Each structure stands twice: as structure tokens, then as C-alpha cells.
Amino acid sequence: MDKGKLLALSVVAVLFAVLAFSSPQAFLSRYNIGTLLDYAATYFIAAIGLTFVIMIGSIDLSVGGMLSLFTVVFVLALNYFGFWAYFITIGLGFLLGMANGLVFTKLKIPSFIGTFGTSGVFASLALIVSGGRPIGLRPQALSLLNPLTFELGPIKGSHLLAFVLFGIFFLIQNSTPFGKYVAAIGHSERATLLSGIKVDRTKIFCFALSGLSAALASIVLVSRMLSGDPTIGTPYQLQVIAAVVVGGTALTGGVGGVFNTLLGTLIITLVGNGLYVVGIDVYYQMIITGIITMVAVILTLDRTKIKVVK
Amino acid sequence: MEPVLRMENISKTFPGVRALEDVNIEVFPNEIVGLVGENGAGKSTLVKILAGVYRADKGEIFLRGQKVGIKNPNDARALGIGMVFQEQAVLPNMRVYENLFLGREKFFVRRGTLDQKLMMQEATKILEEVGLELSPQVYVHELNFMERQMVEIARNIWLARQARVDYPIIILDEPTTVLEEEEIERLFNKLRELKKRVSFIYISHRLKEVVELCDRVYVLKDGQNAGCFFHEEVSEELLRSRMVGRELHEEYYLASKQREPAEKVVLELRNCTKRDAFYDISFRLHQGEILSLCGTVGSGKEELCRALYGEVKLDSGEIWMERERVNINSPDQAFALGIGYISEDRRNEGLILHLPIFENITLPIVHRLVWGFLVKRKEQFRLSQEMINKLRIKAPSPSVLCFNLSGGNQQKVVIAKWLLSQVKVLIMSHPTRGVDVGAKHEIYALIREMAENGMAMIVMGDSFEEDIGLANRIIVMKDGRISGVLDATESKPAPSDLIQYVV
């Protein structure tokens, strides 16, 4: 394990220890640990695909828009098509992510602008489809969420899903040709292109994975809220990017990965949750969040491999 | 007379390469001193030490008789040493006077704001001094390359004056590469005029110009002094023989191992044209043949090679591979057809520096080394280790980052990549650039071996000697057209035979 990951891991450990010692009753309560895991699972699942996009040096600003849209789509699909809703939502996520990738590679629009544009489209579609109101789940559809809501002690199905996805994406990153191409493009797109790699196809697939993981995160969100909310995504957007970056994945590409994102997610959720648990004045919370975020990046980002920090 | 600058016993080693060994040079007032040598002879390393970019491992620098320590570019500037780089360091989107004083605006601040008027005055003065008749208001992108170079020289003179040095030393690194004939003459006249107040160190590959311009010429070879000649005694032949330092006996390029190429044609071009780059190019490349493409910058040879690798689209013409007409629209299509490409920009385009050797070597074929979806890491390692042994890459293990290898070993990694993916045609742009002499020799041996195994290669060498030495056949391009085809299998032509087609 390299230095960056080790540091990120120690940040997680220190945060956890501080919280556990300062207010053991509140922080270590079964309810709080459950909440913590709920949030961490959602953030992590949403951020896991984005990690690949950031690894190639691009960005996906439409994750928030997709979250809004897919919670609505998933609930509607559950109400009308039952179990097929899972396939519909995940498939749609993959396709819309691919659309992002096509806008980026074929129209040659920088991903920052391209996904900023599609983000608006997705957010609007969410409002149009839902009529601007949260959509409730029919009671008879509730049982369809069992795979995500069943409980084993404090662990829920959705937490297990996050864990399984971590394993799968970790393998994708480290042991598939696609994962190798992602790292190569992130370090040097020219050299990768000249090695005969289909660079555009790889990039499109990264965005498709980001869409897919947004869809999965939406499904987890619905399993918690039991409704689809067309405005839920917006506050998630920056949190999800922060989870990736705080873990030590460089916005310039090449450096980082899904393990970093796992640690980044834990840092973000521990900080967010911890400030409430310890009882810090709401007015001061954002100061502390900001500072901890910066310190975490100082510790986790391996700058030896990055020429320019942008 | 006392020298302005004396560099004594300068030595410098990079990982795996001894760049300089006990090099001495002196520069006197009113002098233009030439510095010549082959690529990798140590010219740029030497001047970069003087300019504070690198630090010498050993040796001393004296300026006007005083020993000085130059730790960084700022120290050099404060001592009146300036460098005008090959890649020009002016900003085209800013005006001339803004460029002149870039980073030194502090000098013109009056009451907290920039005194533009004062800047203009000062700019006009310094431009006049270097004999450049243009308004300081002009944007730099409107200037030609020679004028841009003069702006940089003016900037360096001004900086030296700010540092209260009245006898600056300005290093010119290949200043004429991008200049037209006429501009070169104008630049030389300006330099001759300016040397009343400035000493120049002039680095160039163009020996003719060095002979014409310089008062004294130092030759470097393999990081050591290889002679110093006065204007009166110097000649191109003399410099060339000192630079190479050996009779160009053919064995340097292993000509005895050269084989007659096979009958089989692997690649054929028919009347290929790309407007503003090359016109009506036709040739056949045979199995096991080494074909050299010669020509100046702008002859179209670079674009032609890029077209073969799918980076430039042909306007018209046909490309055939093994009796099939093919379209090559992207590098991955070229690779799928069995074409590989070695870029001259090894560090940015040849390999991925921050990935380990085995990832680089197996990158093009990693999709074939899978078990289901998963890459067989052991196989990656095994194949890479085979290549490391075969090409004698000096690295403790396949998981070493390419970043930590010397230039020669990095280039071997690039070659290993294409060797492993068994391409039929390999295009090599300056395969030995920035590689030391020993590694060069090994790369030549590799090229011979690959030819023997049937790989066809198109080479753009670093020098005519290299092109002639390696090739079975030489195609010379000029202004986008083929101006001559020379056989080099039976007997080797002389560089002078080539030059008539080049210019």
C-alpha cells in the first residue's frame, strides 16, 4: 500500500477514534452506526463510477442530476413494472452515462461543460416526469426492496451491496484491460493513443460506469426514503466529487482509485456525522468540514506523480 | 585578455548516463563561441549547468575571474547569464513590452500601479539598442521567429543590466532551426553587431552556420572536450570528424549484419497526397527492409509517417498492406493492421513514465492476456521479464517505474512493447535521440535483429550517417515530394550524395 492510502486510512482511524472517545454513547449507538453506514453506502456507490471518470482526468457533473432522475424513474418503474425496475434503472443509468461520454468524445466538448449541460437536462427531466413532487411507493411494491432493506445486525442489504460493488470495481480497476487503459490514459493520453488503444471507447465506458453507479445509488436512496424525489440529487453532487478527491484521486488523472474513494467516503461521512454527534454549533460546522477536507487532501494526494496541481 | 567565463572540469552524471566528464570551456569578451557535438554529447547539459537548470557534480565556474556558485536560474540571471531556448519562451498573446519585462514588472511600479509609459520608454530604448525596429505595442504573435528571438535577446540584455552586469553572456540553443535562410542572415548580422557588448554561446547542429558565425568553436563528444578551433582554422569537415571522433566505419551501424530484404511487399503507398504536407508519394516496403526517410523539417516526412499511423488523414492516394487496400483513420486501426510507431518524444508519447515497465510493455496486447475478464498478471510479468532479458534492459524487476530508467533503457522498453506485439511494420522517429553512445549501439543491434526476423521498418534518423548506416534504401523528401531514392544495401552512399537531394 502506498503512502497516500496509508495516510487516508490513518485519517479514517483517527477520526473514528476521536469520535468514539469523545461521545461514545451517541456515536457508537446502534442507530448512529446504522445512519453512518447508510450515508457512506450511498455516497460510495455514487462515487465509485465517478472515480474512473476522474482517473482519466475528466469530471462528471451530472451525477446529481442523474440521482434525482433515477430515484423518480426507479419508483415509477417499481409501481408499474415491479421487479423489472432494477433492470430499467440500471440500464438507463448505463445509457445516459454513455450519452455523457459520447458528448465528451465525439462532440469534443470538455467534460466539465458537457456534463454540466446534461446535468441540467437530467434535473429537468426528473421534474417533468414527476410533476415536481416526490413520488411515493405503492405499498405492494415495498417487498421488492427487500434485497436492500433486510438486516443482519446493524448491517443492511444496501451496505452489503456497497461492499460487493467495491470488490467488483476494485477488480475492474486492477485486473481488467479496461482498468489498465484507464490508468494509462490518466497518466498520458498521447502515449496510450499511440500504443494502439481505443482511447475514446475507454473514455465512453468510464462515463457509462459513472451513470451505472448513479443508478445504483438512486436505488439505495429509494430503499431508504421509500419515495422518489426529483430534487434530491443537487446536494449530493459536490459531496460525491469530494469523496473521490479527498481519498487522494487527483483531478488531473492517473493517480488514485476505488480504494481511495472508499476511504474518502468514510472521511466525508465521519466528518459530517461526527460534527452533529459531538454537538458542534451548526454555524461552525462548515468551517470545520472545509478545513478537514483540505487537510485530508494534503495528506492523501501523492504529489510526486503530478506535475501541475490545478 | 581575461575570459568573461571559465568553466573548469565540469562533470555531471544522470542515472545511468555520464553526461559530462571534466569539460572545460572559456568565453572571452566580444566573442561568439560555438558549441557543437552529436546528440547526447553533452552540449545542453553544459549550458543548463551554466544557466542554473542543473547543478554540476564536480567542477568550478569563474565569472570575470571570480568563482561563482550557480544554484538556480535566478542566480544565473543575477550574474548576467541568460538563455534563449529552442522552444521559444515568449508569450504570443502578449505585447512586446509586456514580454520584455515579464516577471520584472516590480521595477515599473509607481504608486502601486504599473507605469505603462515608463515601460514603453524603456522598451523602445532596449529595442533600439538591439537594432529591432518595431513598436513595443505589437503583439508577439505578429512577429516572425527571428524577431521573437531578438525580443528574447533584448530581454536578457535588459535583465543583465538590471543586475548591474555590463557584460552579459547569452546562450543561444539552436536559434536557426525554425528560421528561413534570409532571416538567418539578418539574425547573424545582429549578433555580430551585438557582440560588442555581449558574449554569445551558440549551440547548433548546422555546422555551416557555426563555421560562418563563430569566433571559436568547441567540440564535445560523449561528454568530453574533443577540440577547440579558431574561426581561421575551422571547417565543417574538421568539426564533423571531431564530433564523430572516429572514421565512420560501417561497423558502427553493423552493416555486416545487414540482409537483403525479402521479395514480399508488406506495405505499399500509391500516390498518397496530403495538401500542405506531402504530394504523390509512392513506394513499397518489403519484409525485413529498413527504409530511411530523409529530409529537412518541413519536407513532409513527419506528416507522412503520421499518416501511416492514422494521425493524419490522406486527401488522396491508397495504402495497401499485403495485397489488401486498407484505410487507416486512427492509431488503433494502424495497430490492428500490424503497424507500430515510435515517437521522437519518448517521455510524453513513447511510454507512460509513471507506470511500471511491465504495464508499458504489455499495454498494446494486454487484452490478449486475459482469463475471462481478468488480466493474467503472471503472464504480464513473464513476457516482460523475457523482453527485459532479451533486450538487456537494465532494471531490477519488471515492476520498476519507467520514470526511473535512463533514456536508453526507456527506449528499449518502447521497442520491447512493439516487439512483443509482433507488428509487421515499425515506424521509428529518431529512435536514438537523447540516448548515450553505448545504448545507441545496442539499439542498432536490435534494429538489425528485428529486420532479420522479418520486421519492416521506416526510420527517420538523427543524422545522415545514421540513416545511411542503418538503411537498405533511402528515400529523400523535399518540399513534400520524393526527390531521390538511393540504394544502401549493396554499397553505402556518402552523406554528400544525399545532400544534393535534401536541399
Give the residue from chain A lying closest to B415, CA to CA. A195
Question: Least CB-CB distance to B363: which of A175, A180, A305?
Answer: A180
Residues of chain B with C-beta less than 8 angstroms from the C-beta of A199: 332
The secondary element (H helix, E strand) that includes residue B34 is: strand B32-36
Question: Least CB-CB distance to B375: which of A176, A193, A305?
Answer: A176
Distance from CA of B165 to the nearest CA of A (A): 34
- Report whether B427 contacts B342 (CB < 8 A): yes
Distance between terminal CA atoms of chain A? 26
Question: Least CB-CB distance to A187: which of B355, B370, B377?
Answer: B355
Distance from CA of A218 to the nearest CA of B (A): 27
Query: Quick check: helix, strand or coil at residue B7?
Result: strand
The side-by-side arrangement of strands in the sheet containing B58-63 is: B17-27, B5-14, B58-63, B66-68
**CATH number assigned to the domain covering B5-244:** 3.40.50.300
Give the residue from chain B lying closest to A188, CA to CA. B352
Distance from CA of A38 to the nearest CA of B (A): 31
> A–B: how many Cβ contacts below 8 A?
69
Please state, in angstroms and rounded to a whole number, the distance separating the CA atoms of residues B80 and B200: 12
Given the cut 0.90, state whether the ipTM is greater than it: no
Which amino acid is present at A99? A
Residues of chain B with C-beta less than 8 angstroms from the C-beta of A194: 309, 331, 341, 343, 349-350
Question: Least CB-CB distance to B366: which of A171, A180, A188?
Answer: A180
- pLDDT in 10s for each residue of chain B, 503 residues: 788 999 999 999 876 667 899 999 999 998 999 999 876 688 888 999 999 989 999 999 999 888 998 999 889 988 999 888 766 678 889 999 999 998 888 888 888 888 988 999 999 999 998 888 889 999 988 888 888 888 999 999 998 888 888 789 999 988 887 777 788 888 899 999 999 889 999 998 788 889 999 999 999 988 889 899 999 999 888 888 887 765 545 567 888 888 888 889 999 999 999 999 999 999 999 999 999 999 877 789 999 999 999 999 999 999 999 889 999 999 999 999 999 999 988 888 999 999 999 999 999 999 999 999 999 999 999 999 999 999 989 888 999 999 888 788 999 999 999 999 999 999 999 998 877 667 888 899 999 999 999 999 999 988 888 899 899 999 999 889 999 999 988 888 887 788 788 77
Residues of chain A with C-beta less than 8 angstroms from the C-beta of B306: none
Count of residues in chain A: 310
Extract long-range pairs of B362-367: CB within 8 Å, 24+ residues apart: B362/B417, B362/B420, B363/A180, B363/A184, B363/A192, B363/A195, B363/A197, B363/B417, B364/A195, B364/A196, B364/A197, B364/B335, B364/B340, B364/B417, B364/B418, B364/B420, B364/B421, B365/B420, B365/B421, B366/A177, B366/A180, B367/A177
Residues of chain B with C-beta less than 8 angstroms from the C-beta of A176: 370, 373-375
E strands, A142-246, are 151-152, 155-156, 227-228
**Which CATH number is correct for A3-304, 1.10.150, 1.10.3470, 1.10.4160, 1.10.10?**
1.10.3470
Q: Do B352 and A176 touch (CB under 8 A)?
A: no
Interface test with chain B among A168, A187, A195, by most B beta carbons within 10 Å: A195
Q: Do A176 and B374 touch (CB under 8 A)?
A: yes
Distance from CA of A276 to the nearest CA of B (A): 42
Residues of chain B with C-beta less than 8 angstroms from the C-beta of A180: 359, 363, 366, 375
User: Alpha helix locations (H) across B245-374?
Assistant: 301-308, 331-336, 357-362
| Residue boundaries of the structural domains of chain B | 5-244
| Residue boundaries of the structural domains of chain A | 3-304
Residues of chain A with C-beta less than 8 angstroms from the C-beta of B410: none
Of B441, B439, B435, the residue nearest B407 (C-alpha) = B435
Question: Least CB-CB distance to A175: which of B332, B353, B374?
Answer: B374
Q: Do B352 and A305 touch (CB under 8 A)?
A: no
Give the residue from chain A lying closest to B403, CA to CA. A305
CB-CB neighbours of A282 under 10 Å: 8
Give the residue from chain A lying closest to B348, CA to CA. A191
- Residue B307 has which C-alpha cell? 499518416
Please state, in angstroms and rounded to a whole number, the distance separating the CA atoms of residues B37 and B225: 10
Query: Quick check: helix, strand or coil at residue B220?
Result: strand
Between helix A199-225 and helix A30-55 the angle, nearest 10°, is 160
Q: Do B349 and A192 touch (CB under 8 A)?
A: no
Q: What is this structure's pTM?
A: 0.79
The secondary element (H helix, E strand) that includes residue B266 is: strand B265-274
Question: Least CB-CB distance to A305: which of B351, B354, B370?
Answer: B354
